[in-house]
Amino acid sequence: MSVRKTLIAAAILALTADAAAAQAPDYARATAVEVEVRSFAFTPGTIHLRAGVPVRLTIRDTKGGHNFAAPKFFAAARIAPEDAAKVRGGKIELEGGDTVTIHLVPAAGTYKLTCTHFLHTSFGMKGSIVVD
C-alpha cells in the first residue's frame, strides 16, 4: 500500500472514531447534579451546567406532585436514548416522593425552568438553567 493510501485510510479511521465518540457521551464520568422539587420551589433555583459536558441530572420531588418543565433546554440537549421517554413535551412529571434521573449533554444557553401544574409558577415555582 502506498504512503498516500495509508494516510488517507488513517484520516478516515480518525474521523470515524471522532464521530463515534461524539455520538456516545461517557455518562460514567458525567457531572452529578441534584435538584430538589418541593412546595413551590426548585432547589437550587438556578442550575449551572457546562455546555457539552455529560450530566447525570437527578430530580427529587419531596412533597406533592410537580413537574420539571424546561422545553427549550430539553429540545437543545442530547438526551441519552434510554432516558428519552422520561421527558414528555419538554417536561418530567413527578409525584410526591419520586426521584427521576436523566443523562444528557446540555447545549449552551439560558433556559426557563417552571412547574406547569395549575398556579405553581404563580406561587413562585420557577427557576433557570444556565449552560456556559
Please write the tens of the pLDDT for every residue from 19-52: 544 568 999 999 999 999 988 999 999 999 999 9
Please write the tens of the pLDDT for every residue from 121-132: 999 999 999 999
- pTM here is 0.82
Q: Residue 99's beta-bridge partner residues?
A: 60
* Domains along the sequence of the chain with CATH: 27-131 (2.60.40.420)
Q: Is the peptide bond between 25 and the residue preceding it cis, with omega within 30 degrees of 0?
A: no
Quick one: which H or E segment has residue 92? strand 91-94
Asked whether residue 6 carries a pLDDT value surpassing 90, the answer given is: no
Residue 3 is predicted with a pLDDT of 60
Spatial separation of the C-alpha atoms in residues 58 and 34, rounded to whole Å: 5
